[in-house]
A and B are shown apart, each in its own frame.
Chain A
Amino acid sequence: MSTTESHDEATAVDPNAVNITINGRSVSAVKGEMIIAAADRTADFIPRFCYHPRMKPVGMCRQCLVEVEGPRGPMMVVSCMTPVADGQVVRTDTDQVKQAQEGVLELLLANHPLDCPVCDKGGECPLQDQAFSHGPGESRYVEEKRHYEKPIPISDLVFLDRERCILCDRCTRFANEVAGDPLISFTHRGNNTQVLTFPDEPFASYFSGNTVQICPVGALTAQPYRFKARPWDLEERESTCTTCSVGCRIAVQSSRDELVRYQGVDSDPVNWGWLCDRGRFNFQSVSSDDRVTTPHVRDGQTLVETTWVDALSRAAQLISSASGKVALLGGARGTNEDAWAWAQLADLAKFKMRDAQMGDGLPARVFSYPQATIDAACSAPTIILLAPDLKEELPVLYLRVRDAVEKGRSRIVEITSHDSGLTKYAWKSVHHEPGHQLDAVRATLADTDIAAQLAKGPVVVIAGRSSLAESEANIMAALDTIVGSVAHVSVLPALRRGNVRGALSVGLAPTDGNDATHILKSAVTGDIECLVLLGSDPLSDHPDADLVRRAFASVRNIIAVDMFMNQSVQSASVVLPAAAFGEKNGTTTNLEGRVTNVAQKVTPRGTSRPDWMIAIELAHALGRDIPLTRVEEVQAHMMTSIPQMQTENVAVALRRNGIVVPTVASAASSAAVTPVGTRNSYEFRLVSGRKLYDKATGTTASRSLVNLADSAAVYVHPQDLERIGKSDGASVRVSSSSGAIALPVHASSAVVRGTAFVPFNLAGADVRELIRHDQAVTDVRIEGI
């Protein structure tokens, strides 16, 4: 009976549960937990600087002193380093505790410059706040304070003011323990102890912004936010970052109707409070001067500004005159509501084809496998990586997976044709040439060691497009084999675009295999006459540059809905300016299928409008009414019209951790494996993947990030470089059957012998000139110029 069961549950004793007393009140805790963590669940706040719940304690600042009763009376202990014990009696409010905490604060302030009026942290500073709440109020120190050069840049994004630093070890611990980039360290000794980088070697971590957020004083400040606002001037709403598909929770902060900062919010199933620098600092693109803020229509060779009424009627006209030969490309940039409204429009206006991806992802049937969450992946004994470099493409997922390995929960089996950021954490790395992942997978599964590891329990495959220079069919065939032969397996799709899963779920998935590549091919053959670009830039993003160029030349009209005049938008006949992230409300779906909210914080620039509103207006102009006027109505209709969202309560999705909604996808059928020819020994097999900082508009339109991107180069194994007789940095000509590019060559031991790695979408020579959509792999020659 159910009552008995619940009774059993109530009396079942957790062997790890302990009870302690804090200030006379009983608190339940778990063995191994520190006193300060238990106290955080009560009303008794213990002051602290170095303690951070997502990092190991170090007892560096000594601010969290409390009294614990012992056999010889009360003893002062640091509560962040003292584990709870059953029956422990803790007091945080005695005179002795108060005196000790005041003493520590007086010492911490002995060298602190107290330049709060000119400090970015002033107003939200733990040192300032706790000096008021737990400090002595006055200092006995009259001596000269330490002096250092005022802020020194330790990277392009972060400044360090050593005078303000209280040496809490948070930033250095974060760099080492969480990010795995120990590029900052305590140096020197005693009174001269200071945090520094190695001379002339910047703190070039993808996660450096987190150190600014967790710095408990104003020692670390972020270049994009310096002197932009005071904390008490900031308005804030909790939202979800849509830069990539991890969907980190963020606080979007604005001052005077301009976005000035994103802060990470601790969402337990997703980002643990961390953000990557690209996601953190690309708010600058929203207020970029390059935004398209008014509608444009084509007048001969140029695009001229016009009114919404005119632009919408022109767009409607173009769609009508294409008599159904219309295709929609994109939709992964916006919210679920945006994608859903556009899917409605595409249905009503009978668009022939649609795809939210750009030939650089995986087919939507990847969602038909048993699905894993990030938490499931990071608690599984085995994670199989059949994915792009997570550190470059899904950085916070990289942090979570790295944590799972470092804490000994998971082992990584990586099957890759290029070393990734996780290779050094991998238990096994199986390298293969592109086109041979199926052989590699079979060999991996046949290995007795690996088979024993896989048998240990749930296995999660993180699956994505590991290289853009080969057919997705290669990856799907390998994935099919793993899913078909490993027990307790589930898949975490590592598709990269912000809301790609949402867009594919709410109606922008291609039907009958008419994906982006097929749409472009149809444009070439005249089967598509009008192309609608919904925040997409195929001219820069689709791997086959030649195909896109031919499609753009053949297609009669292009209608672009975008925030920027990117390369593809410049070819459009009608440009409709779209509201950016932070300028619209809605929901987004991350790579797990987790639906969370996206919040509007600032007014859309110029006359730009959210995508969903444009869809409804355009439907109206086409004489097809979608009778919805507010995003809440769109959301409600979307939630009721999509079966898998139907049962879910919108309100749940709008809470911090959101809700995982299953994605309906057509059942998997095994992919036709394209036979891969053997490579000539004088050729290289091409591998191409994305870097965190590339030519993406969100990055190039952000002043602080634009200069962080590398320029294009080809990387080969050092022995291969020797074999072709080139020196590191020499200019070479890389040619495939479809084109040739000139770029510098570098040696890299991350590259598998016989392959050549060219990063995707960087400034300089474009690797897409070498790639053909109809070839399973791309073989290239490298010659001197």
Chain B
Amino acid sequence: MSRLNDANVALAKEIIARYPRPKSALIPLLHLSQEQNGYITNDAMAHLAELVGVTSAEVYGTASFYEMFKFEPVGKYVINICGTLSCALMGSEELLHRAEHKLGVKAGGTTPDGLITLEHAECQAACTEAPCLQVNYRYRFRVTPADVDSLIHDLRAGKLSDEIPAHGTLAKVRQHIPADRGVGAVAPEAATTAPAWFDGKAAL
């Protein structure tokens, strides 16, 4: 059920072919799988293991290292409120409390309607714009409690659906690398010629 569907298997094979070693494609494939299912399931990991020729345990080891891969279903929108120093000093704790109160769930929880997951996050690298948060990894800067209220309101009202695609969506447009722009699956140590897109320029 949560194995990659046929279209995604075709895409997965295309992605795998971009790398000299199939297992290098694991991270993009995990994203693809998360896009399809909303989160990473055990079946999906077993399927990816087959596709790239490693064991399920190795896929699990890789996937569980990254915060952005979820192993439980999450809401359509994931709100990450930064709690690291700059944001904490600028009042992120209040933002989190506000959001918890407004949504009726604790950090880490998902609203019963499955719309919003609230999370506490570590530094999101926007300290100059503290306090900050992300909705499906899209920034909101210098957030006030009132901004949290209106954000949640807008998400519920569907006003942001154009701006913020559902959680897991990789991109609205699939990447296509034309044959003459690709480097091909050549291991770096096996490469003898410069890639086509190098256009004969001198090496950097």
Residues of A in contact with B (beta carbons under 8 Å apart): 181-189, 196-201
Chain B, Cβ-Cβ closest to A172: B61
Question: A200 — which chain B residues lie within 8 A by C-beta?
Answer: 42
Which listed residue, A181, A187, A197, A201, touches B64 by the CB 8 Å rule?
A: A187
Question: Do B55 and A187 touch across chains, with their CB atoms under 8 A apart?
Answer: no
Name 8 interchain pairs, CB-CB below 8 A, sorted by A.
A182-B58, A185-B58, A188-B64, A196-B60, A198-B60, A199-B42, A199-B60, A201-B56
- Give chain B's interface residue range (CB within 8 Å of chain A): 10 to 19
Q: Which of B12-63 contact A (CB under 8 A)?
A: 42, 45-46, 54-61
Chain A, Cβ-Cβ closest to B45: A198
Please give 6 more A-B residue pairs, beta carbons under 8 A apart, in addition to A183-B57, A188-B64. A181-B55, A185-B60, A187-B60, A189-B64, A189-B66, A196-B60
A189 touching B65 in the complex, CB below 8 Å, given contacts A198-B42, A198-B45, A199-B42:
yes
Chain A, Cβ-Cβ closest to B61: A185
Question: A186 — which chain B residues lie within 8 A by C-beta?
Answer: 61
Measured CA separation A197–B55 after assembly (Å): 10
Which listed residue, B54, B57, B65, touches A201 by the CB 8 Å rule?
A: B57
Question: B57 — which chain A residues lie within 8 A by C-beta?
Answer: 182-185, 196-198, 201
Measured CA separation A198–B59 after assembly (Å): 8
Determine how close the nearest CB of chain B comes to the CB of A748; give it in whole angstroms.
Answer: 15
Question: Do A182 and B60 touch across chains, with their CB atoms under 8 A apart?
Answer: no
Determine how close the nearest CB of chain A comes to the CB of B94; give it in whole angstroms.
Answer: 26
Measured CA separation A201–B57 after assembly (Å): 8
Measured CA separation A185–B67 after assembly (Å): 17
Question: B59 — which chain A residues lie within 8 A by C-beta?
Answer: 198
Which listed residue, A181, A188, A189, A198, touches B56 by the CB 8 Å rule?
A: A198
Measured CA separation A758–B46 after assembly (Å): 27
Measured CA separation A181–B58 after assembly (Å): 10
Dominant SS at the B interface?
helix
Question: A187 — which chain B residues lie within 8 A by C-beta?
Answer: 60-61, 64-65
Determine how close the nearest CB of chain B comes to the CB of A508; give it in whole angstroms.
Answer: 44
Question: B45 — which chain A residues lie within 8 A by C-beta?
Answer: 198
Among all A-B residue pairs, the 10 with the closest Cβ atoms: A185-B61, A198-B56, A198-B57, A187-B64, A185-B57, A188-B64, A189-B65, A198-B60, A183-B57, A187-B61
Question: Do B55 and A198 touch across chains, with their CB atoms under 8 A apart?
Answer: yes
Determine how close the nearest CB of chain B comes to the CB of A185; give it in whole angstroms.
Answer: 3
Chain A, Cβ-Cβ closest to B63: A187
Determine how close the nearest CB of chain B comes to the CB of A208; give it in whole angstroms.
Answer: 13
Determine how close the nearest CB of chain B comes to the CB of A347; give it in whole angstroms.
Answer: 55
Residues of B in contact with A (beta carbons under 8 Å apart): 42, 45-46, 54-61, 64-67
Measured CA separation A198–B60 after assembly (Å): 6
Measured CA separation A201–B49 after assembly (Å): 13
Q: Which of A182, A184, A185 has the most CB of B within 10 A?
A: A185
Question: A198 — which chain B residues lie within 8 A by C-beta?
Answer: 42, 45-46, 55-57, 59-60
Question: A199 — which chain B residues lie within 8 A by C-beta?
Answer: 42, 60
Determine how close the nearest CB of chain B comes to the CB of A165; give it in whole angstroms.
Answer: 14
Measured CA separation A183–B59 after assembly (Å): 10
Question: A183 — which chain B residues lie within 8 A by C-beta?
Answer: 55, 57
A188 touching B54 in the complex, CB below 8 Å, given contacts A198-B42, A198-B60:
no
Question: B46 — which chain A residues lie within 8 A by C-beta?
Answer: 198
Determine how close the nearest CB of chain A comes to the CB of B39; give it in whole angstroms.
Answer: 14
Determine how close the nearest CB of chain B comes to the CB of A452; give it in whole angstroms.
Answer: 21
A182 touching B65 in the complex, CB below 8 Å, given contacts A196-B60, A198-B45, A199-B42:
no
Question: Do B54 and A182 touch across chains, with their CB atoms under 8 A apart?
Answer: yes
Chain A, Cβ-Cβ closest to B60: A198
Chain B, Cβ-Cβ closest to A200: B42
Determine how close the nearest CB of chain A comes to the CB of B123; give it in whole angstroms.
Answer: 13
Q: Which of B45, B46, B60, B66 has the most CB of A within 10 A?
A: B60
Q: Which of B42, B65, B67 has the most CB of A within 10 A?
A: B65
Determine how close the nearest CB of chain B comes to the CB of A96; give it in whole angstroms.
Answer: 32
Measured CA separation A186–B61 after assembly (Å): 5
Determine how close the nearest CB of chain B comes to the CB of A426; give it in whole angstroms.
Answer: 16
Question: B66 — which chain A residues lie within 8 A by C-beta?
Answer: 189
Measured CA separation A197–B65 after assembly (Å): 14
Q: Which of A198, A199, A200 has the most CB of B within 10 A?
A: A198
Question: A182 — which chain B residues lie within 8 A by C-beta?
Answer: 54-55, 57-58
Question: A196 — which chain B residues lie within 8 A by C-beta?
Answer: 57, 60-61
Measured CA separation A313–B66 after assembly (Å): 75
Measured CA separation A182–B55 after assembly (Å): 6
Chain A, Cβ-Cβ closest to B53: A424
Chain B, Cβ-Cβ closest to A175: B57
Question: A201 — which chain B residues lie within 8 A by C-beta?
Answer: 56-57
Chain A, Cβ-Cβ closest to B54: A182
Measured CA separation A183–B42 after assembly (Å): 14
Measured CA separation A48–B30 after assembly (Å): 36
Determine how close the nearest CB of chain B comes to the CB of A435; give it in whole angstroms.
Answer: 33
Question: B65 — which chain A residues lie within 8 A by C-beta?
Answer: 187-189
Determine how close the nearest CB of chain A comes to the CB of B126; give it in whole angstroms.
Answer: 21
Determine how close the nearest CB of chain B comes to the CB of A189; give it in whole angstroms.
Answer: 5
Question: A181 — which chain B residues lie within 8 A by C-beta?
Answer: 55
Determine how close the nearest CB of chain A comes to the CB of B26; give it in whole angstroms.
Answer: 12
Determine how close the nearest CB of chain B comes to the CB of A733; give it in whole angstroms.
Answer: 33
Determine how close the nearest CB of chain B comes to the CB of A425; give it in whole angstroms.
Answer: 13
Measured CA separation A198–B57 after assembly (Å): 4
Measured CA separation A197–B60 after assembly (Å): 8
Chain B, Cβ-Cβ closest to A424: B53
Q: Which of A181, A188, A200 has the most CB of B within 10 A?
A: A188
Determine how close the nearest CB of chain B comes to the CB of A152; give it in whole angstroms.
Answer: 14
Chain A, Cβ-Cβ closest to B65: A189
Determine how close the nearest CB of chain A comes to the CB of B30; give it in whole angstroms.
Answer: 14
Determine how close the nearest CB of chain B comes to the CB of A543; give it in whole angstroms.
Answer: 35
Determine how close the nearest CB of chain A comes to the CB of B63; give it in whole angstroms.
Answer: 8
Chain A, Cβ-Cβ closest to B122: A190
Measured CA separation A19–B42 after assembly (Å): 53
Determine how close the nearest CB of chain B comes to the CB of A423; give it in whole angstroms.
Answer: 14
Determine how close the nearest CB of chain A comes to the CB of B190; give it in whole angstroms.
Answer: 15
Measured CA separation A183–B56 after assembly (Å): 7
Measured CA separation A201–B58 after assembly (Å): 12
Measured CA separation A201–B54 after assembly (Å): 14
Measured CA separation A575–B58 after assembly (Å): 52
Measured CA separation A185–B56 after assembly (Å): 10
Chain A, Cβ-Cβ closest to B59: A198
Measured CA separation A733–B46 after assembly (Å): 33
Determine how close the nearest CB of chain B comes to the CB of A401; give it in whole angstroms.
Answer: 21
Determine how close the nearest CB of chain B comes to the CB of A388; give it in whole angstroms.
Answer: 25
Chain B, Cβ-Cβ closest to A192: B64
Determine how close the nearest CB of chain A comes to the CB of B83; give it in whole angstroms.
Answer: 15
Measured CA separation A189–B67 after assembly (Å): 9
Determine how close the nearest CB of chain A comes to the CB of B65; give it in whole angstroms.
Answer: 5
Determine how close the nearest CB of chain A comes to the CB of B204; give it in whole angstroms.
Answer: 30
Question: B56 — which chain A residues lie within 8 A by C-beta?
Answer: 198, 201
Determine how close the nearest CB of chain B comes to the CB of A162; give it in whole angstroms.
Answer: 14
Measured CA separation A183–B61 after assembly (Å): 10
Question: A189 — which chain B residues lie within 8 A by C-beta?
Answer: 64-67
Determine how close the nearest CB of chain A comes to the CB of B177; give it in whole angstroms.
Answer: 30
Question: B67 — which chain A residues lie within 8 A by C-beta?
Answer: 189
Measured CA separation A184–B61 after assembly (Å): 9
Question: B54 — which chain A residues lie within 8 A by C-beta?
Answer: 182
Question: A197 — which chain B residues lie within 8 A by C-beta?
Answer: 57
Measured CA separation A181–B64 after assembly (Å): 20
Measured CA separation A196–B56 after assembly (Å): 11
Question: A185 — which chain B residues lie within 8 A by C-beta?
Answer: 55, 57-58, 60-61
Determine how close the nearest CB of chain A comes to the CB of B128; give it in whole angstroms.
Answer: 25
Q: Which of B54, B55, B57, B66 has the most CB of A within 10 A?
A: B57
Chain B, Cβ-Cβ closest to A184: B57
Measured CA separation A453–B59 after assembly (Å): 36
Measured CA separation A182–B53 after assembly (Å): 12
